[in-house]
Structure 1
């Protein structure tokens, strides 16, 4: 393996190494709602006293969780709602998740895009061309429908040649609805834990929420449908 290839693989190796350490050491045990509730008074007091530092720390923590694809990402946004309230918690979550997604996107593009293109050949060229024509709409659709693995959606656009600016904008817009839903769940987390209950993170799949998300996702594909249905003008 050449030094150039090693340098290209280094970012991905770091991200995968971080995930491996997290799993091997069982660090997920330190991220429980019970532990959060036990330290509720201390955390809320510190957040109120150090608003800017706590917000920046949360963004950094969320970006780290997403970048390393840690299996605790779903609980982080409710924690944001718990600590900062629904709207600020959702906003901080969107920023943190987007930054972490950028790290994965850049690492995947650096390490695998050239190799992927070389192996896939003409088939990838056709797929890439089709994706790039409407890449913003496709990515927005994938972000809005909360059934696709977040880490996978971070990687695929990088392999298909999506530009970073369009990727960032589609990501930020696409994750806003789910962030608001989860942050609103977290805003009432203290009351739930006090009652001995757990937050219903599956609420996003209830029809009253899931159907509007599907509607937004369908709207995001309208430019694609319009492009496909539009017929070129033919002059006699």
Structure 2
């Protein structure tokens, strides 16, 4: 007789992590948008640079933790955090910290969604014998390519690229590999902008993130997207020939 209450509690616990992320994202959207900005970074630049010079390791750990929380809870300010990585730690170290923090945050969202809603949806998709199951099978046949596309196509929001794979039951190993390597190109671009941020502040200006859509930036990213899509295209062509 205790099975029903126990299952109910277990179901609530399974959904608790994803629920917490959604609630935090909503609250953060309305409360943190005015704080995690380039203006805040400019106003505190001297204090941050001084603290970095005196306590590099502590600032590095704090930066990674804050960036992780921004990604894990889908808070506003991810772009600011990425640029800050370049501003504080230069290109190589900054890119490393950005990729590490963003990847860990993505993993947290993945497991939160997989533990709750993702597990339920994946089971329903597996039990479905119609079009949904065919789509799921097609996804798994091209899992690596699709995951890389989600990371490389600039139009796909980072939160969506973290959440969607968990909901359709992709392998965590493939998700982790494509996340780490897939976000490196974008991380380099954002970090590079941050490296020159001091000069931008000295001119009394704010960083221009519209640079991300310049041909010399967007072109290589789209090229990588095409390469990621090639295996899908080749399989599709081969499948039609066999038919």
**Residues in 1 aligned to 2:133 and 2:63: alpha-carbon distance in whole angstroms:** 40
What corresponds to 1:204 in structure 2? 212
Q: Residues 31-78 of structure 1: CA distance to partner in whole angstroms, max 9, x if unpaired?
A: 222222222122112112222222222111111101111121121100
Aligned residues of 2:87 and 2:195 also touching (Cα < 8 A): yes
What corresponds to 1:90 in structure 2? 95
**Residues in 1 aligned to 2:102 and 2:219: alpha-carbon distance in whole angstroms:** 24
Aligned residues of 1:116 and 1:159 also touching (Cα < 8 A): yes
Count how many residue pairs are aligned between Structure 1 and Structure 2: 233
What corresponds to 1:48 in structure 2? 53
What corresponds to 2:42 in structure 1? 37
TM-score normalised over the length of structure 2: 0.88
**Residues in 2 aligned to 1:128 and 1:43: alpha-carbon distance in whole angstroms:** 47
Unaligned runs of 5+ in 1: none
Offset, 1:119: 5.4
1:80 aligns with 2:80: no
1:134 aligns with 2:139: no
Counterparts of 1:33-182 in structure 2, within 5 Å, are 33-117=38-122, 121-122=128-129, 123-182=131-190
**Residues in 2 aligned to 1:104 and 1:34: alpha-carbon distance in whole angstroms:** 28
What corresponds to 1:16 in structure 2? 22
**Residues in 1 aligned to 2:167 and 2:154: alpha-carbon distance in whole angstroms:** 21
Name the SS for the 2:33 alignment partner: helix
Offset, 1:225: 2.6
Which runs of structure 1 show a deviation greater than 6 angstroms over 4 or more consecutive aligned residues? none
Unaligned runs of 5+ in 2: 1-6
**Residues in 2 aligned to 1:139 and 1:87: alpha-carbon distance in whole angstroms:** 25
User: Which of 182, 188, 197 is equivalent to 1:189?
Assistant: 197
Name the SS for the 1:142 alignment partner: helix
Offset, 1:118: 5.7
Offset, 1:28: 2.3
Offset, 1:117: 4.0
Aligned residues of 2:121 and 2:168 also touching (Cα < 8 A): no
Aligned residues of 1:132 and 1:160 also touching (Cα < 8 A): no
**Residues in 2 aligned to 1:118 and 1:220: alpha-carbon distance in whole angstroms:** 28
